[in-house]
Amino acid sequence: MNDPIQQDLLQFPELLEKVKEQGLAYLSQIADRPTHSSLPLSLTDHLPEEGVGALAALAQFNLRFEPTIVATTGPRYWGFVTGGSTPAAVVGDWLTSIYDQNSFATQGQGDLSARLELETIQLLLDLFGLPKDFLGGFVTGATMSNFTCLAVGRQWLGKQLGKDFAKEGVTGQLPVLTATPHSSAIKSLSLLGMGSSRYTRVNVMPGNREAIDITDLEQKLAALNGQPCLVLSSGGTVNTVDFDDFRAIAQLKQRYDFWWHIDAAFGGFAACSPAHKHLLAGWEEADSITVDCHKWLNVPYESAVFFVKEKHRLLQVETFQNSNAPYLGDPLDNFSYMNFLPENSRRLKALPAWFTLVAYGKAGYRKMVEDCIQHARQLGAFVAESPYFELLAPVRLNTVCFTLAGEANQEKLTAFVSRLNDTGKVFMTPTVYNGKKGIRAALVNWRTRTTDITLATELMTATAEQL
């Protein structure tokens, strides 16, 4: 009898060898792989009765799907905020699948792999120069990190009002103040029953800024008359990478009662650069912080961390505990991620991050971050000098936000972006900033070099000339 799974067991060495070779072939060509695909793909809804085994499945994947895969981890994919994967991170990711731990317990449950996660959180706090009075954990992305942090903030708000929202459900209007929130933070408000339309927009500072106007924030805090609220601030906005004034917010926190969350999904990595860490000065006073790992840390999807002040641990457990499952133990008894974040069962998410941190250290990340900033400056300088383009904002860190020069060219912008992306050699994403159509190029990939920027600028000029 030809039992595919037994057959695969016998062929495991050959299978893994083949995948290794294919992976290496892909990665060694990544700079030439298109960043965009328009190949057609038809999907099936029929699962055959008999399986074909992993080798034949691989052949089918290679025939149908592999050609449509684009070089998102290559050096010239600058859309959204897209990181790559360092060699060490790939090693950690492979081993995560091999060991396949269910990573939540740190004691008493057999599988104690989550202790590696505790260590990785400490390493990250050290990388960012954050104090050790934060507890943290891994979730799938900054969206879930924002959700986790804001969920604890919601529980805190309830406590201030004498309520336990986790148990009783949310009641009343909960004030949220923010200036330029990421869409995922607003989505989190929706998930948390706080209402995605019920936040109050604080003014931004004058002069082409996206950062909170501190005077306006203080006025809005004062107007709450002592009612506790949530302040949602930005450590790197998506369009122009603007940072709120964290020192000023920390001072306000001494006089007003609010939960302070910082979304520093990628901007948190400014802490790795001595020349830029001042942008984050004061962030250590926040109640909670979001940082993505699948962006600038350059580990594979899905990886992000939250940091929440240790003093809020009880609120966090109240929010995420498995309170009606006695077999999982007392949530306050010993530390388990199961009672600390949204997921229960989950893979050993920390391992790729642990590998890359240990492999490259603080110096490796300082260089990676500073190289990206340097490349953004190079691209920004080109845009500023080119007759075809203009900057929509100064290059503050790793992102260039620009548009076609001249009001009349606004209508050509969509065509420009799609023609540029159709070259398959560089990828950027459209945006709207201050009512203008623009383009963003976000540089967070460790593979990008000066020559990649030069290649992209030549393509940009050529594409603009043909409009």
Ligand X SMILES: *Cc1c(COP(=O)(O)O)cnc(C)c1O
Residue closer to ligand X by CB (options 304, 376) is 304
Pair 121, 136: CB distance under 8 Å: yes
Residue from 184, 208, 374, 429 in contact with ligand X (CB under 6 A):
184
Determine, following the binding rule CB under 6 A, whether residue 210 of this chain makes contact with ligand X.
no
Position of minimal CB gap to ligand X? 141
What minimum distance in Å lies between the beta carbon of 145 and ligand X?
Answer: 7
Min CB(246)–ligand X separation in Å: 15
**Which of 154, 182, 276, 309 touches ligand X (CB under 6 A)?**
182
- Tracing tokens 């992209």 back to the chain, one arrives at 456
Residue 286 lies near ligand X (rule: CB under 6 A)? no
Q: Which H/E stretch holds residue 432?
A: strand 429-433
Tell me how far, at minimum, the Cβ of 290 lies from ligand X, in Å.
Answer: 7
**Is the CB of 54 or the CB of 238 nearer to ligand X?**
238
Extract the tokens encoding 31: 């700079």
Q: Does 143 bind ligand X (CB under 6 A)?
A: yes
CB closer to ligand X, 121 vs 150: 150
Nearer to ligand X, 138 or 337 (CB): 138
Q: How far is the CB of 41 from ligand X (least distance, A)?
A: 24
Contact between residue 205 and residue 233 where contact means Cβ atoms under 8 Å apart: no
**Structure tokens of 369?**
């971050």
Site string for ligand X, 256-285 (x = CB under 6 A): -------x-xx-------------------
Query: Order of strands across the sheet with 304-309?
Result: 134-139, 304-309, 288-292, 258-263, 229-234, 176-178, 200-201
Nearer to ligand X, 96 or 398 (CB): 398
User: Which lies closer to ligand X via its Cβ, residue 182 or residue 261?
Assistant: 182
CB of 74 to ligand X, least distance (A): 19
Q: Which stretch binds ligand X (CB under 6 A): 135-143, 339-347, 358-366, 415-423?
A: 135-143
User: Does residue 142 interact with ligand X by CB under 6 A?
Assistant: yes
Shortest Å distance, C-beta 263 to ligand X: 5
How many CA atoms does the CB half-sphere of 392 hold within 13 Å? 25
Instruction: Name the burial class of residue 20, with classes exposed (0-12), middle (13-18) and buried (19+) by CB atoms within 10 angstroms of its CB.
Output: exposed
Alpha-carbon distance of 37 to 195, in angstroms, equals 38
Q: How far is the CB of 253 from ligand X (least distance, A)?
A: 21
Q: Interacting stretch for ligand X, rule CB under 6 A, among 7-15, 18-26, 137-145, 193-201?
A: 137-145
Q: How far, CA to CA in Å, does 335 sit from each of 290, 307, 380?
A: 21, 16, 47
Query: Which is closer to ligand X, CB of 175 or CB of 267?
Result: 267
Of 145 and 403, the one with the shorter C-beta distance to ligand X is: 145
Q: Of 81 and 357, which has the nearer Cβ to ligand X? A: 81
Instruction: Return the residue of 238, 351, 401, 453 that touches ligand X, per CB under 6 A.
Output: 238
Q: How many residues does the chain have?
A: 467
Give least dist CB 363 to ligand X, A: 25
Shortest distance, CB of residue 379 to ligand X, whole angstroms? 18
Residues 6+ apart with CB under 8 A from 403: 389, 390, 392, 409, 410, 413, 436, 437, 438, 439
Q: How far apart are the first and last CA of the chain?
A: 63
Choose one: 138-146, 199-207, 306-314, 365-373; the region binding ligand X (CB under 6 A).
138-146
Beta strands per DSSP E along 281-383: 288-292, 304-309
**Closest CA relative to residue 138, chosen from 111, 170, 169, 104:** 104
- In the complex, the smallest distance separating the C-beta of residue 29 from ligand X, rounded to whole angstroms, is 27
* Cβ distance to ligand X smaller for residue 256 or 266: 266
* In the block, residue with structure tokens 């409009």: 467
Q: Does 211 bind ligand X (CB under 6 A)?
A: no
Q: Give the C-alpha separation, 83 to 333, whole Å.
A: 38
With CB under 6 A, what is the number of residues at the site for ligand X? Answer: 13
Please list every residue from 72 through 91 that binds ligand X, using CB under 6 A: 81
The C-alpha angle 35, 366, 129, rounded to 5 degrees, equals: 120
Residues 6+ apart with CB under 8 A from 80: 429, 442
Strand ranges in 224-273 using DSSP code E only, listed in sequence order: 229-234, 258-263
Query: CA 57 to CA 110: how far, in whole Å?
Result: 34
117 vs 263 by CB, closer to ligand X: 263
Contacting residues toward ligand X, per CB under 6 A: 81, 141-143, 182, 184, 236, 238, 263, 265-266, 292, 304
